[in-house]
Amino acid sequence: MARYRFEEEEHTMFRKSLRKFLEKEAVPQYEQWEKDRLIPKSFWRQLGDMGFLCPQVEEQYGGLGLDFRYGVIIGEEMERVGASLTGVGLHNDITVPYIEAYGTERQKQDWLPGCISGEYITAIAMTEPGAGSDLANISATAVKDGDHYIVNGQKTFITNGINSTHVLVVVKTDLKAEPKHKGISLLMVEEGTPGFTKGRKLDKVGLHAQDTSELYFEDCKVPAANLVGEENKGFTYLMEKLQQERLVVALAAQIASEDMLEMTMDYVKSRKAFGKPISAFQNTQFKLVEMATEIELGKAFLESLIEEHMAGKDVVSKVSMAKYWLTETAKKISGECMQLHGGYGYMEEYKIARRYRDIPVAAIYAGSNEIMKTIIAKRMGL
């Protein structure tokens, strides 16, 4: 059952345990969660009870002190169930690492145990109605006032926005900074803080069970003690941590592609046309062979990339390549697989229809694929 050469026996056992848990607690409920447009908080607490939230956190804060390989396994198994579970990966591998890396001792003691138990659910608020990939031009402000910051602004497309209890908000703390990115800081805003309100749950084309929302800050009074890291160093922190976020997105796209190929193989073998299975037609065979080849190439690239990332190597270019190429590949495969399902592929009861609508956004979030190409080009000296 081990997927990668770096997986050891304990990783394989962890994967089996997680898959068994998800088959019992997530797979039967997933369709209802999609209809409800929300994953219940009770599921988060179940994940916490089982040790599937933030296993990398040090034991002194209630974690298991495990390496990133466990995060890879959790991300992959969640994606296998459905893309709407992406918020778990965002919590485990994207938001919580900011607390681990840049938080004070008090912040770690106050926040990490709840993040591990599922009592706390985190989100990271970067995107605004007028600023997405161009993070330096955010307009949300945090003005120091004694031992508080007064936060004003709006965020949108925030993953875990509705369920979140702790939101890491990207704000401008120095409005006169030149260049602009030198005036950005990270503030943890807790649910219930006066002046902080959650807007509507956004109605998306896909990822229906994943709660995405707008967030509003109106003279929101946040304790200065909730500043994560140093003031005006936020952009640097974001650049350091965005690599893992993009790797997590690439991993999910790879699993989605594998899942689509598997379900399509099953379908074409059972579906008949002109007296023989669709799988017997050369066109079908060639399409499936092409997809299988791209999937194998993607998996091999990811395997080496995970190892380099864990070794602390500079993987900015390769992560950008993986994020853009694997998400574009998944988009292409979703169209091919839907076509091979014929009319049934367009029906909601077939999982391929859900994959088809869930996948495109992966080419947009965590930095659009156009931004990925810009990063690569810059690092190539172009």
Q: For residue 271, with 0-12 CB atoms within 10 Å meaning exposed, 13-18 middle and 19 or more buried, which class applies?
A: middle
User: Which segments of 104-241 are extended strands (E)?
Assistant: 122-125, 141-145, 148-159, 166-172, 184-190, 196-201, 212-223, 227-228
Dist. CA 124–CA 87, nearest whole Å:
11
323, 366 Cβ separation under 8 angstroms:
yes
How far apart are alpha carbons 61 and 74 in whole angstroms?
A: 20
Taking alpha carbons only, the member of 158, 238, 146 closest to residue 197 is 158
CA distance 88 to 156: 19
Query: Tell me, what DSSP letter sits at residue 203?
Result: -
User: Using CA atoms, how far apart are residues 270 and 104, in angstroms rounded to an integer?
Assistant: 58
Measured between alpha carbons, how far is 3 from 79 in angstroms, rounded to an integer?
A: 15
Decide: 229 and 188 in contact? Cβ < 8 Å: no
- Of the candidates 76, 245, 258, 294, the residue annotated as catalytic is 245
Nearest to 367 by CA among 186, 215, 213, 243: 243
Active-site residue 245, yes or no?
yes
Tell me which amino acid residue 66 is: L
Give the count of beta carbons closer than 10 Å to the beta carbon of residue 141. Answer: 17
Instruction: Report the C-alpha dihedral over residues 358, 245, 102, 185, rounded to 10 degrees.
Output: -70
Q: State how beta strands 148-159 and 141-145 pair.
A: antiparallel
- Active site positions, annotated: 245
